Chains A and B, each alone.
Chain A
Amino acid sequence: MNNRTPLFGIQWNEPLSFWQTTWILTWILIKLVLVASMMNLGPGEFIYAGF
């Protein structure tokens, strides 16, 4: 079982430092914003228009 988080390289049993927590939270937020905006179809139309 792969217990290492890609991108951040954090082990499952390793406590997160302040900066790691900040980075992960920011990254989660970015992904959620992108997912939410894709669901609104705005970026979808943008992609379909060929950027």
Chain B
Amino acid sequence: MVLFINPAFWIIAAAVYLLLLFETPRRATLRFGLFNIAALAILLGWKVAAAVFLFVLLFWGVLYRLRLWLRGSHWKADTGAGFALILMLALVFWVHKLNLEDGAFVSRFSQAAPWARPDLLLPFLAMLSFSYIFVRSVELVHCVIWKRMPLLDPVSLAGYLVPFHMLVAGPVNIYSEHLEMDPSPPPAPNSSQVLIVLNEITTGLFYKFVIAEGIRIYFYGLEGHFTVASLFDSGVLVVYTFFDFAGYSRVARGIGRLFGVPTPENFSAPFRSTSVTDFWTRWHISMGLFVRRNLFTPLQLQLVRKVGIRRAAWASVLTMIVSFGFVGLWHRLSWTWFLWGALMGLLMAAEKTAQGYFLKWGWNQSPRAQFCLRILGPVYVFSVVIVSAYFVANEIFPA
């Protein structure tokens, strides 16, 4: 969030907006990609920007060669190549997460593999929030290798993988939407739309700096840090996280709209959800959609093909557990977080079964049942979220 209180960030964002207003024959993705690298160079330094470009160039080179090699090949070759690439990315992600979770990891890694220059690599990955670049890269591999979508040039690809306005923490943008910028670039926003965007950006800043920070200061003091020792602390943490995360997501989305760069919505009134399943379609929406596109749907299709349509329900339970287990591990590489995700998946599978019974008994037609669901649903969801957060937050904010 420090980025958003840096005046240079806002000056650069305004400059990129004005530069993108000029009509040129160049593709929209290329123009944004070029300005994005310049913005990264000013904000993070030219060495970091050069390293970003080098990473993207390397990744692009591998994808380009693979596409040439896989032309007309058997689907098994695509699967093998795609998984090999994702495995390599996962290895970098694993090292990045270990570094974030353990302060002594850099020195241990430096002793074990000094040639990898962990003293440079690990801060570089942390500075760029590599967790988000990882999921975007997985999406890119899925789209380019399996779905055979066009591969952008390295400069445009840097605009998709490391967009400067989404540096802080996402959202997870969609590759096909980014590609759409070229054939159908969105028109530049008019004065009314600019005002709507400014309203969105300032709401994001208000969420983060007034509401979220106000909550933190009120409960934990000016220099205080979160501690999760009780369910009440966990509740405060959940509300704080919402305003913090939804705040910077709104700022990023507002800036994306100004640039005409697809920047997905991340939150949609999650505390009004009537079920946990509903909650996960309203909280960190872009991550949920990423998991659905790249893990849940392909895995579910493969499983149903293997076990048959009669066992589709069981396949769905397993897929839910695996998908949310991945979400848990993406947050933190620990058994607690994996179990958190797996239990969320199991709970959603149980909700799906319960929903089936409600439909069978006709409760969905009853106004009284509908009313109860509207009132008790959010209470149930908030309770589940608080209890689940209590168990996992202990690892991040010990009492």
Contacts and interface: CB of A to CB of B under 8 A. Distances in A.
Interface stretch (B203-211, B231-239, B357-365, B388-396): B203-211
A47 B265 contact: no
A39 B354 CA distance: 48
Contacts of A12: 193, 196
A45 B199 contact: no
Given A35-B209, A48-B222, A16 B195 contact: yes
A48 to B, nearest CB: 5
B218 A47 contact: yes
Given A28-B199, A31-B205, A31-B206, A38 B221 contact: no
Contacts of B193: 12
A27 B222 contact: no
B198 interface: yes
28 contacts: A1-B264, A2-B265, A5-B196, A5-B200, A8-B199, A12-B193, A16-B192, A21-B192, A21-B195, A24-B199, A27-B199, A27-B202, A28-B198, A32-B205, A34-B206, A35-B202, A35-B210, A38-B210, A38-B214, A39-B209, A44-B213, A44-B214, A44-B222, A45-B222, A47-B214, A48-B221, A48-B222, A50-B218
Interface residues of A, number: 27
Contact of B203 (A14, A15, A31): A31
Contact of B209 (A15, A28, A38): A38
Interface of B: 5, 190, 192-193, 195-196, 198-200, 202-203, 205-206, 209-210, 213-214, 217-218, 221-222, 264-265, 268
Nearest to B203: A31
Contacts of B206: 31, 34-35
Given A47-B217, A47-B218, A1 B209 contact: no
Contacts of A50: 218
Contacts of B199: 5, 8, 24, 27-28
B213 A38 contact: yes
Report the 6 A-B pairs with minimum CB-CB distance, sorted nearest first. A16-B192, A31-B206, A31-B202, A35-B209, A44-B217, A47-B218
A24 B265 CA distance: 21
Nearest to A16: B192
A28 B268 contact: no
A24 B222 contact: no
Given A31-B205, A34-B210, A35-B202, A10 B196 contact: yes
Contacts, number: 64
Contacts of B200: 5
Contacts of B221: 48
A38 B212 CA distance: 11
B268 A2 contact: yes
B265 A48 contact: no
A14 to B, nearest CB: 7
A37 to B, nearest CB: 9
A16 B189 CA distance: 13
A35 B10 CA distance: 15
A19 to B, nearest CB: 13
A40 B196 CA distance: 27
A2 B5 CA distance: 27
Contacts of A39: 5, 209
A35 B222 CA distance: 16
Contacts of B218: 47-48, 50
A16 B198 CA distance: 14
Contacts of B203: 31
Give the interface centre of A41, A43, A47 by most chain B CB atoms within 10 Å: A47
Contacts of A28: 195, 198-199, 202
Given A2-B265, A15-B192, A16-B195, A32 B214 contact: no
Nearest to A34: B210
Nearest to B192: A16
Contacts of B265: 1-2
Contacts of B213: 38, 44
A10 B268 CA distance: 17
B195 A24 contact: yes
